[in-house]
Amino acid sequence: MLNEVISYLKLEPGHIVLDATAGGGGHAVEILKRITPGGRLIGLDADPNAVRISEETLKDFKNYKLINDNFRNLDRALSKENIKTLNAALFDLGISSYQLDDKTRGFTFKEDAALDMRMDPNSSVTAYDIVNKLKEKELADIIGKFGEERFCRRVARQIAARRSEKPINTTGELAEIIHRAIGYKKGRIDTATRTFQAIRIAVNDELGALEDGLKKAVSWLDIGGRIAVISFHSLEDRIVKNLFRAYSDLGVLKILTKKPVTPQAEELSVNYRSRSAKLRVAERI
């Protein structure tokens, strides 16, 4: 939803903008075009590979700084760059296409790979740890809460039974266990999707980081500054909606999207992964 994001942010030359999820630099390019001359972009990403990709994407620009850090630490990053206030902030949540396509990262079950799922490869907790070391009830709770999987206890029971024989090492093994627990049907959404999502969220503490990052970003917005968030599943969207509403009640934010903006048919035709995207935008008042 690049066009929608750029339109809502109301960017002008001289603006200071935070791209909290730099990814491959696609949003950053369009932001920099609009804030030049005089503006500055600070881009964050927990994945060092994303920072390297963004550096290449943005090589024709000068007025930016890319930082390898989680957006929950955006206050530290902005202070270090002597940024006082922001005119705009963007959060494009979830997992990037290049991360899904990199079979070595273990984010997808379409390729058999080690159970990793870390956005930041320096993090200590991996998907292997979640799958093999948590108690069955803890695992079921994670799958139920973060994956909204109604068969969470059945999946956890099957995982516990298999790992009692030998550790579960790969994404392929885990997917096979899930399919055995709740069945497998050919179609758009694999039955293992919700469990994989839950484990990835737990590994990266994505929801906790989101709440921390959004609160800090709002506090850095100048009057009239705008914050845009693209979420990809109901748990993320709920956090954004509730936080925006709470700040609206306090007279801190004005909500600009009463209902979330969703992708147009044209975008869906070229990017099926965007089907679940929801954009919410608010303005500091």
DSSP assignment of 2-50, as one string? Answer: HHHHHHHHT--TT-EEEES--TTSHHHHHHHHHHTTT-EEEEEES-HHH
State residue 2's pLDDT score: 87
Strands 278-284 and 253-255: what pairing?
A: antiparallel
Choice between 187 and 181, residue whose per-residue pLDDT is larger: 181
State residue 271's pLDDT score: 57
Strand order across the 221-231 sheet = 64-68, 40-45, 16-19, 86-92, 221-231, 278-284, 253-255
98: tokens are 């290049």
Least trusted range by pLDDT, from 14-23, 71-80, 99-108, 246-255:
99-108
* H or E element that contains 56: helix 48-57
E strands, the chain, where?
16-19, 40-45, 64-68, 86-92, 221-231, 253-255, 278-284
The whole-chain average pLDDT of the chain stands at 92
Go through the domains of the chain in sequence order and give each one's CATH number: 2-98+206-284 (3.40.50.150), 100-204 (1.10.150.170)
C-alpha torsion 59→231→72→243, nearest 10: 140
State residue 86's pLDDT score: 98
Least trusted range by pLDDT, from 187-201, 250-264, 268-282:
268-282
State residue 273's pLDDT score: 58
Q: What are φ and ψ of residue 247, in 5° steps? A: -70, -30
pLDDT in tens, 39-81: 999 999 999 989 999 999 999 999 999 999 999 999 999 999 9
